[in-house]
Amino acid sequence: MVASNASPALEINQLGLRLGRKPVLHDVSLRVEPGSLYGLLGRNGAGKTTTMRAALGLKSFSTGSIKLFSCDVRQIHKMPQMLGVALDPPGLDDTLSVRQNLELAQIRGGITGGRSIDEVLELVGLTHRQHNYGSRLSHGQGRRAAVARALLGEPELLLLDEPLSGLDPQGVERMLALFQTLSQDEGKTVVLSSHHLREVQHICTHVGLIDDGHTLLEGETPELLATMPSHLEVRTSDPMSVAKLLTANHIADVAVEANVVTAVIDVEFNRERVLRQLLDANLPVSEFFVNASTLVDVFQHAVDAYDHRGDHV
């Protein structure tokens, strides 16, 4: 459950960062509430990894501010809260087994109590691979091992960089279910970066969309999805009559192509009522379905608006 009155678990304001002389981040601003499952989303090269590394104090930034639980990132070593981190690449020691890597992480982090090595291996599905050396792991297994390491102990905030990369569909589903459990059932704050917008859409409570080092938009996932129209598609042998009925219902952008009628619909569209009207009119309808808007649509709309922001100036 998201704690609305608590200080943000992570707050980034107008972050600017250069790698050498090259500006990489320009004005990234994010606010992650405690207990939320936050997706830091964008295309490859958008600045997600750099943002996450800056949030951990691993990258110096030129402008802006970063706070974790109200603590300035420059004082991250003084934070009482424990962080769980899985970066890209995972940073495993290839000369050690998965289990030995986790044992080393416990020693280096002074981790006692909380989730044990056996527990985190089971959670990510690597119990049967615990004695494999890092060099013998697939790309996806390395990602899962990094997540297991991040779960050791009792981290209050998990920062996971591309944790779904290289996973097969079953592995993706397992990880998504795990992240959702950590947030919803245990109240942990989970921030995961990904360019897989479709996969994370149904679990993230909040998302921030960045592109070219800019925050394009941020907010609660359902609210962002509600800003985009959905599309109705009707397959029929009498498309002109169907189009006429839809237009009479004040449905916008009705179009006909062959035996398919499409239209743009808003959140107030009543599909049951319109379908009943079509059937009562004895119109031949073979398919009637709504293509709901997705985070891909939201992101593309934001990118297009950003790219054309000066067209009407």
* pLDDT tens-digit map of 166-204: 899 999 999 999 999 999 999 999 999 998 888 889 899
Q: Which CATH architecture has domain 230-292?
A: 2-Layer Sandwich (3.30)
Spatial CA neighbour of 144 closest among 159, 161, 124, 123: 124
Q: What is the pLDDT of residue 179?
A: 97
What is the rounded distance in angstroms from the CA atom of residue 284 to the CA atom of residue 239? 9
pTM: 0.86
What is the pLDDT at residue 304?
86
Would you state the pLDDT for residue 311? 54
Domain positions in the chain: 10-221, 230-292
Which stretches in the chain have pLDDT values below 50? 312-313
For residues 52 and 75, give the distance between their C-alpha atoms in angstroms, rounded to a whole number.
Answer: 16
pLDDT at 310: 56
Superfamily name with CATH number, domain 10-221: P-loop containing nucleotide triphosphate hydrolases (3.40.50.300)
